[in-house]
Amino acid sequence: MGRTDTLLCRVHECICALPLEHVVEVMRPLPVDRVTGAPAFVAGLSRIRGTAVPVVDLGRLVTGTDGRASARFVTVRSGAGVVALRVDSVVGVTSLSESAELPPLFRDEEGPIAALGDRDRALLLVLRTARLVPPEPAPVLAGGAA
């Protein structure tokens, strides 16, 4: 049974674990421009280091509810390239056991949640960063609009 180093981020009442190998950087949030036709969980595009990067509202993605004013962006490598995740806060780095498993009702190989756990009585969602944005995103997101 292996262990994975993860970055823990708070999103609403949940804590999300992002595999550290996929994390590019943590930063203060930047301005986000809304984009028509983007999936509901995509807040828009932000200029990060001179490149237009999709911003995913992680709260909306994992809980289905609107996010609060995010305190941090976490950029990660995803199947669709680099994506910025809006999170409430960054909790820290930890090593998690890979044995945590989703209940049968939540098992979806295409979904963003890989496993469940708990930390300090809060729900812990282990995310598949490669699945945060669909492989065929909205055309404007795939084209890197300015």
pLDDT at 114 over 50: yes
Domain parsing of the chain, residue ranges: 3-134
* DSSP reduced 3-state for 60: helix
pLDDT at 117 over 60: yes
**140 vs 105 pLDDT, higher one:** 105
**Nearest alpha carbon to residue 83 among 110, 117, 112:** 112
Which residues in 91-101 are b (16+ Cβ under 10 Å) and which e? beebebeeeee
Identify the CATH class of 3-134: mainly beta
Q: pTM (2 decimals)?
A: 0.76
